[in-house]
Structure 1
Amino acid sequence: MTRVIGLISGTSVDGIDAALVDITGTELDLKVELLVGETYPYPEKLSAQILAVGGGKELSMAELAVLDDEIACSFAQAALDIQKHGGASLIGSHGQTVYHRPLDPTTPHSLAYSLQLGRGDLIAQLTGIPTISNFRAGDIAAGGEGAPLVPKVDAYLLSHPEKSTCVQNLGGIGNVAYLPPRSNPHWLAEIRGWDTGPANSLIDLAMQHLTDGAQAYDRHGLWATSGKPCDKLVEQWLGQNFFGQSPPKSTGRELFGALYLQECFADMEAYKLSAVDKIATLAELTVASIVHSYHTFLPQLPNRVLLCGGGSKNLYITNRLQTLLQSSAVITTDEVGLSADFKEAIAFAVLAYWRNLGIAGNLPTVTGARQKMLLGDIHQIFDNIIS
C-alpha cells in the first residue's frame, strides 16, 4: 500500500483540491481509498491574477516566475495541511493550467502546448515529499493533446463488467471518458475520451458579472432552474467549430472564457433575456454540448453516465441530462463509491503512483498520442535546499 496526495486546481480556479489516498494494486487490481479530501481556496489576489493570466493578460518573465512560485507555495501548503492526517510518501500535482493550445490539424508537424504553473520541484522541497508534476508533457511529446489524462484511471476504477459507462466531469471545462463493458475482450482499446466544451466556465463568469462579484457560481443551479433557456441561441452556439470537431480534442478558457462570454451576452441582447434566463441558456449550452457530443461521437449511448466535478451539484444540468439521455442512468460517481468532488485529485494521485512504478498513464486512443507514455516529472528531496 502507498499513501499519496493528489493535488489539482481546475479551470474554474475555485481552489486547490487535495486528496489523501491509499493505493494498492497496479491496473486491473487497482484499489483506491480516499482518506481525506479538502478544497483550499487561493488567496483572493492570487486567484484574480490566475484568472487574468488565463484570460490573456501579459506578464514579464520575472512576473511569470513569481506567479509560478506563489502557486507552488499554495499547493505545498495544501499538501502540508492534508498531510497532518498522516503518512504520504508521494505527491502528484497537476498544478494550475494557465494556457492550453490543442493540436492544429491544419499545421504539419505541430505539437500541442499546455502550461501548468506550480512547479513541482518547489512543492517537493517545501513539503519534504517527493513530488511528480508536469503530467501533460509526456503525452504532448508523443503527439497527443495532453488532455484529458484521467480516462485510464476512470477505466480501472469506474468501468463495469457488463454496462457501458460515460464518466462526465463537470469542471470549468467538461470532459468525458467512454468505457465499454469489461466483458468486451477489446474494452481497453475501445475507450474514448475528449473535452465536451464548457461546463461551469461560462456560467461562473456570468454569475460573477450579473451579481457584481457577489456570487461566484450558480449554487445548486438555482438561477438556471428559475430561468427559461433560449433554445434558438443554444442551437446557434452549437454551430461553433469545436463542437463539430472529431475527437481527439481538448479545449480551455482560451476558447470558452471571458471573450466568448462577451459574444454570448451580445447575442442575448436581441432576445431581451432576464438574468436568470441568461444563466439558464448558458447551462443549457453545457447540457446540449454534452448530449450532442454523445450522439455524434459515441458508438451508442451508454447504459449509465457518472457525473463528477462541481457541476454534478447543479440540479439544472443533472436533471436536463437525465431528461435528454432517457436510456442512460445519470448518477454521480459518489453513488458508485468514488468521490465526485475529489475524483480529479484522486486521479492525479494514481497517475503519480503509476509514474513511480514505471506504468504508462495515458491512453493514445483518447489523446491521439502515438504511443503509451510515462507521465510526469519526478522531483526528489535533497537536504538543506530550503530551510
Structure 2
Amino acid sequence: MTYAIGLISGTSVDGIDTALVEINGLEVDLEVKLIAGTTYPYPDTLRAKILAVGEGEPISMLEFAELDDAIATHFARAAREIQIENPKAELIGSHGQTVFHRPPPENGDRAARLGYTLQLGRGELLASLTGLPVANNFRAADMAAGGQGAPLVSKIDACLLAHPHKARCVQNLGGIGNVTYLPARQHPDWEGGIWGWDTGPGNMLMDLAMQQVTQGAQTYDSNGQFAARGTPCLELIDRWLEQDFFKQPPPKSTGRELFGQAYLERCWQEASEYRLSDVDWLATLTELTAASVARSYSDFLERRPDEVLLCGGGSRNGYLKERLQLRVAPATVLTTDEAGLNSDYKEAIAFAVLGYWRLKSSLAGNLPGVTGATQPMQLGDIYQPAIAS
C-alpha cells in the first residue's frame, strides 16, 4: 500500500487539482482509493500571467524562471495542505502547468518530427519544498519516442475503468477534450484495441466566451444554465468542424495554441453575420464541444461505445451532458463517478498513479497505440529531496 499525491493544473488554468490516494497493486490488479481531493486556486495575478504566456505573450528568461518557481511553490503548498489531518504521502506525481504544446507534424526533418511540450512547476523545487520524491515531466519520454505526449492517462483508464462486457469511451472534458476508447475486456485483443486522442475543445471556448459576455464577472457557465437558454447555430458548427484538426486521424493532440483566444475571436467574427444573442453564442460553442466529441467517435471508432463516461469540469455541465447524450445515442452518457472513480479529480488521481509507477516500479506509463510512440516508455523525471543533515 502506498499513499501518493497527484497534482495537475489543466489548460483552463482553474487551479491545482490535488488528490491524495491510497494505491495497491500495479496494472490489472491496480486499486486506487481517493482519500482527499481539493482544487487550490491560483492567485489572480499568477493565473493571468499563465494564461498570457499560454497565449504567446513574450517574457524574459528571468520572468520565465520566476513563473516556473511560482507555479512550483503553489503546487508544493497544495501538496502540503492536503496532508493536513490525512495520511502522509510517500511520493508526488505532478503533471505541472502546460504553457506550450506542439504535436509532432506528419512530416518534416528529424527535429520537427518530434513534438515539443512544456509544463512548468519544476520538480526539483517541488521536492525541496515538500520533502517528498517527485516524478514530473511525464510527456517528454513519450515524445522522445515519436509520440504526441498525450493523452497520457489512457493506461490508467484501462486499468481502472474497463468493463467485462461493455465498450466504453472515457471522455475527459477539461479545457481540451480527450478520450480513451476501451473495448470490453472479453475482446480477444483487448489491450490492442485501446485507443485515444484529443477530441478538440472541451470547456476552453465556453469559458472564454462566458468571460467575454459577462465582462469578466463569470469565468464559466455553471451547469450550462446560460447556454441552455439559447439555440445553437448548427450551420456555424458544421463550418467549424471542417477545421483540419477535426479531420486529422489519431493519434493527435492539441491545446490552447490552437483552440485559445485567437480561435475564439475568429469564431466570433464568423458568427457576426448570424447576429447571435449572448445565450445563442454560448449554446453554439457548447454544441461545438458536443458535436466534435460525437463526430470523432463516428469518424474514428470501428465500433461505437455502449457507454460514455465523463470526467473533468465539463462532466458537471448538465446542458453539455444533455447535448452530448443526444449526439452519441444509443450509448449511455454517465460520469466516471458512476463507475467508481471520482470525476472531479480523475486526472490528478491518474498522475498520482503515474508517479507511483515511475518511483515504485519499472512499468511503462504510455500506450503507444494511443500516443503514437514507437514503443512503451517509462514516463517522468525523478527528483529526490535533499536529506536533512
Where on the TM-score scale, by shorter chain, does this alignment land: which range? over 0.9
Confirm whether residue 364 of structure 1 aligns to residue 353 of structure 2. Answer: no
Confirm whether residue 377 of structure 1 aligns to residue 375 of structure 2. Answer: no
Match of 1:300, SS state, is: coil
1:298-313 aligned within 5 A = 298-313=301-316
More moved, 374-383 vs 8-17 = 374-383
Structure 2 partner of 1:69: 69
Inter-partner Cα distance in structure 1 for 2:329 and 2:200: 21
Match of 1:254, SS state, is: helix
Inter-partner Cα distance in structure 1 for 2:98 and 2:388: 30
Structure 2 partner of 1:57: 57
Match of 2:35, SS state, is: strand
Q: 1:115 aligns with which of 104, 118, 125?
A: 118
Q: Amino acid of the residue matched to residue 149 of structure 1?
A: L
* C-alpha displacement of 1:87: 1.3
Per-residue Cα deviation, 1:310-350 (whole angstroms, up to 9, x for no partner): 00111111001111211111000011110000000000000
Match of 1:36, SS state, is: strand
Inter-partner Cα distance in structure 2 for 1:137 and 1:252: 16
Inter-partner Cα distance in structure 2 for 1:363 and 1:135: 13
4+ residue segments displaced more than 6 Å: none
Inter-partner Cα distance in structure 2 for 1:316 and 1:114: 33
Q: How many residues align?
A: 385
* C-alpha displacement of 1:384: 5.2
Structure 2 partner of 1:222: 225
Q: Report the aligned-residue RMSD.
A: 0.8
Inter-partner Cα distance in structure 1 for 2:274 and 2:283: 13
Per-residue Cα deviation, 1:153-194 (whole angstroms, up to 9, x for no partner): 000000001110000000000000000011112111110000
Confirm whether residue 203 of structure 1 aligns to residue 225 of structure 2. Answer: no
Inter-partner Cα distance in structure 2 for 1:86 and 1:153: 23
Structure 2 partner of 1:106: 107
TM-score using structure 2 length: 0.98
1:216-365 aligned within 5 A = 216-356=219-359, 357-365=361-369
Inter-partner Cα distance in structure 2 for 1:5 and 1:361: 17
Inter-partner Cα distance in structure 2 for 1:122 and 1:133: 11
Confirm whether residue 161 of structure 1 aligns to residue 164 of structure 2. Answer: yes
* C-alpha displacement of 1:383: 3.0
Structure 1 partner of 2:40: 40
Inter-partner Cα distance in structure 1 for 2:334 and 2:55: 33
Inter-partner Cα distance in structure 1 for 2:338 and 2:187: 24
Inter-partner Cα distance in structure 2 for 1:324 and 1:383: 55
Q: Amino acid of the residue matched to residue 92 of structure 1?
A: G
Q: Amino acid of the residue matched to residue 374 of structure 2?
A: R
Per-residue Cα deviation, 1:103-127 (whole angstroms, up to 9, x for no partner): 1102142100000000011001000
Q: Amino acid of the residue matched to residue 276 of structure 1?
A: V
Q: Unmatched 5+ residue regions in structure 1?
A: none
Inter-partner Cα distance in structure 2 for 1:300 and 1:224: 31
Confirm whether residue 144 of structure 1 aligns to residue 147 of structure 2. Answer: yes
Q: Unmatched 5+ residue regions in structure 2?
A: none
Confirm whether residue 29 of structure 1 aligns to residue 29 of structure 2. Answer: yes
Per-residue Cα deviation, 1:22-66 (whole angstroms, up to 9, x for no partner): 000010000000000000000100000000000110011111000
Match of 1:189, SS state, is: helix
* C-alpha displacement of 1:237: 0.2
Q: Amino acid of the residue matched to residue 363 of structure 2?
A: I
Inter-partner Cα distance in structure 2 for 1:325 and 1:383: 53
Per-residue Cα deviation, 1:90-143 (whole angstroms, up to 9, x for no partner): 000000000000111021421000000000110010001111100001100111
Inter-partner Cα distance in structure 1 for 2:148 and 2:33: 30
User: Share of identical aligned residues, percent?
Assistant: 61
* C-alpha displacement of 1:202: 0.5
* C-alpha displacement of 1:361: 0.2
Per-residue Cα deviation, 1:246-272 (whole angstroms, up to 9, x for no partner): 000000000000000000110111000
Structure 2 partner of 1:88: 89
Inter-partner Cα distance in structure 1 for 2:231 and 2:326: 16
TM-score using structure 1 length: 0.98
Inter-partner Cα distance in structure 2 for 1:369 and 1:113: 14
